[in-house]
């Protein structure tokens, strides 16, 4: 993954594009918004040209870059940039580390429970967005309202309800120590082995993200 550090795109612009993606906007509309921020446009092209994607053909337009990257990867990259763009010095933004760990862990637990890709993506989004109120310094409802999120994601974030809400509550409690989640793991049907495996994978991915943000 390319470097995430430095003075990034404005949060308003990032939220606008995220709202377009969740609202299933046309690629040309996303491209038009992207063009309004030269730095974000350059970052996108660097991402698509990174070793992780290694395109076989030269990029002909921003719409082409969006298509090559894919909306799922674009969405996740933008979510990370929300936090990374607020990094303060070499230490980076600690909220990025916590949000990334929550997102990856929730995704991994859904995968362990054989949830489909859509549910895994929703779980990742819930974990990543769970700290936006602290990032922006305003109520979470005011931030996620314009994003047109699906009901399960919205309810999980705002009321901690539904399966995703319970999962978010679980990973939040886990941050205080393993003893706090014994009964929750049992209730969620998550075995110790699945929990440990999901934690290891989430920690590995989050460590990579943290290194990239400070490189």
CA angle 32, 34, 40 (to 5 degrees): 160
Residue 137, classified by CB atoms within 10 Å of its CB into exposed (0-12), middle (13-18) or buried (19+), is exposed
Q: Cα(31)–Cα(79) distance, rounded to whole angstroms? A: 17
Residue ending a domain, choose from 60, 85, 110? 85
Query: Are 148 and 99 a contacting pair, CB within 8 Å?
Result: no
25 and 10 share one domain: yes
Do 101 and 39 share a domain, yes or no? no
Q: What is the mean pLDDT of each run of 10 residues along the chain (215 residues)?
A: 50 90 92 86 81 67 87 90 64 80 93 87 94 92 89 95 93 83 82 89 84 57
Predicted local distance difference test score (pLDDT) of residue 4: 45
Shared domain for 207 and 158, answered yes or no, is yes
pTM to 2 decimal places: 0.81
108 and 48 share one domain: no
8 Å CB contact between 50 and 2: yes
Both tokens assigned to 138 = 């305003």
Q: 178 is written with which tokens?
A: 């393993």
Give yes or no: residues 76 and 105 share one domain: no
Domain boundary pick from 68, 85, 102: 85
Q: Answer yes or no: do 25 and 121 share one domain.
A: no
Q: What is the CA radius of gyration of the chain?
A: 17
Number of compact structural domains in the chain: 2
Sorted by sequence, the CB contacts under 8 Å of residue 60 that are 6+ apart come out as: none
Report in angstroms the alpha-carbon separations of 7 from 38, 88, 144, 196: 13, 9, 23, 36
Please say which residue of 63, 85, 107 terminates a domain. Answer: 85
The whole-angstrom distance between residue 86's C-alpha and the CA centroid of its chain comes to 15
- Does residue 104 share a domain with residue 58? no
Structure tokens at 15: 């939220």
116 with 30, same domain: the answer is: no
Look at residue 25 in the predicted model and tell me its pLDDT.
93
pLDDT tens for residues 13-37? 899 999 999 999 999 999 999 888 8
- Identify the domain containing residue 147 by its residue range: 92-215
**pLDDT, tens digit, for every residue of 185-202?**
888 888 888 899 999 999
């Amino acid at each position: 993954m390319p470097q995430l550090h430095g003075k990034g795109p404005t949060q308003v612009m990032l939220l606008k594009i995220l709202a377009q993606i969740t609202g299933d906007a046309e690629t040309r509309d996303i491209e038009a918004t992207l063009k309004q921020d030269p730095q974000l446009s350059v970052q996108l092209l660097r991402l698509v040209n990174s070793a992780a994607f290694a395109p076989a053909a030269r990029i002909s337009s921003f719409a082409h870059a969006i298509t090559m990257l894919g909306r799922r990867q674009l969405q996740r990259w933008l979510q990370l940039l929300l936090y990374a763009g607020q990094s303060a010095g070499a230490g980076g933004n600690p909220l990025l580390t916590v949000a990334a760990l929550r997102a990856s862990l929730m995704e991994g637990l859904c995968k362990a429970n054989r949830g489909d890709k859509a549910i895994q993506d929703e779980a990742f989004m819930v974990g990543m967005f769970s700290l936006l109120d602290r990032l922006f310094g305003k109520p979470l409802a005011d931030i996620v309202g314009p994003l047109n999120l699906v009901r399960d994601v919205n309810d999980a974030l705002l009321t901690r309800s539904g399966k995703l809400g319970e999962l978010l509550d679980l990973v939040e409690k886990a941050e205080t120590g393993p003893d706090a989640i014994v009964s929750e793991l049992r209730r969620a049907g998550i075995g110790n082995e699945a929990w440990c495996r999901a934690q290891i994978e989430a920690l590995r991915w989050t460590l990579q993200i943290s290194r990239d943000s400070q490189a």
